[in-house]
Amino acid sequence: MPVEHGQAIDIERLRARDPQVFEAVVRTHYDRVYRLALRMLGNATDAEDVAQEAFMKVHRSAPRFRADSSLSTWIYRITHNVCLDELRRRKRRPLAQGLQGSDDEHLAVEQADDGPGPEEAALSADERLRLRRALDGLPLEFRSVLVLREVEDLSYEQIASVLKCPIGTVRSRLARARRLLAERLQRSDDHELQERVSSAASLR
């Protein structure tokens, strides 16, 4: 019986969708699922919805769970896929709407949503916003590896299992993703510095 995070999960009962086992699974894994969704999607409301959807899928797919990956990797994989579905849905806008809704509008909604959010005060609101923008600007496969590694602290092997790709791909994506994120954050630093200089100049 695999023991994960101090909790023994009976795989047979999980496959049989035993309500008691599921309750334990939800309580044990909720924080991880929610965190991944929040970092992938950028706002608390969507993260909560996606977390719900992910657990519904875990429940539906439970009879097909093979213990060849760990339970948490499997749950991460399902959550990650639900996140991609949600991001794809967002991109998809009917022709008429696509002409009206601007990206700025979309960003404003996200910020308002993220405002009083459950972030720790380790970063200032401004730093969080810049991080969010830098992360959102990255191609999805880079965002995924960064969140799984830097936020969720998974190993290369676990990430490969979540994304169903070779470890070599994880390595090369992670290397490129870290470089890209650093470049983007640096650029936004430079940009802010410039703005401060020019506003100081205009005060004079």
- The residue among 34 and 72 lying less far from other proteins, judged by its C-beta, is 34
Strand partners, 47: none
- The residue among 118 and 198 lying less far from other proteins, judged by its C-beta, is 118
Non-local CB neighbours of 58 within 8 Å, separated by 6+ positions: 25, 74, 75, 78
CB 42 within 8 A of CB 88: no
Q: How far is the CB of 201 from other proteins (least distance, A)?
A: 27
- The residue among 7 and 155 lying less far from other proteins, judged by its C-beta, is 155
CB 198 within 8 A of CB 140: no
- Six-digit token string for 179: 């470089």
First to last CA, the chain: 71
- The residue among 104 and 120 lying less far from other proteins, judged by its C-beta, is 120
Q: How far is the CB of 204 from other proteins (least distance, A)?
A: 31
- The residue among 10 and 28 lying less far from other proteins, judged by its C-beta, is 28
- The alpha carbon dihedral of 200, 201, 202, 204 has a sign of positive
Q: How far is the CB of 104 from other proteins (least distance, A)?
A: 13
Q: What is the DSSP letter of 62?
A: G
- The residue among 38 and 71 lying less far from other proteins, judged by its C-beta, is 38
Q: How far is the CB of 191 from other proteins (least distance, A)?
A: 15
Q: Using CB under 8 A, list all residues that contact other proteins.
A: 17, 19, 22-23, 26-27, 30-31, 34-35, 38-39, 44, 48, 51-52, 55-57, 59-61, 64, 74, 77-78, 81, 84-85, 88, 91-95, 98, 118-120, 122-123, 127-128, 131, 135, 140-141, 144, 146, 150-151, 155-156, 163-166, 169, 171-172, 174-176, 178-179, 181-182, 185-186
- The amino acid at residue 145 is V
Non-local CB neighbours of 151 within 8 Å, separated by 6+ positions: 35, 36, 39
CA distances from 56 to 21, 32, 48 (A): 14, 15, 13
Q: How far is the CB of 74 from other proteins (least distance, A)?
A: 8
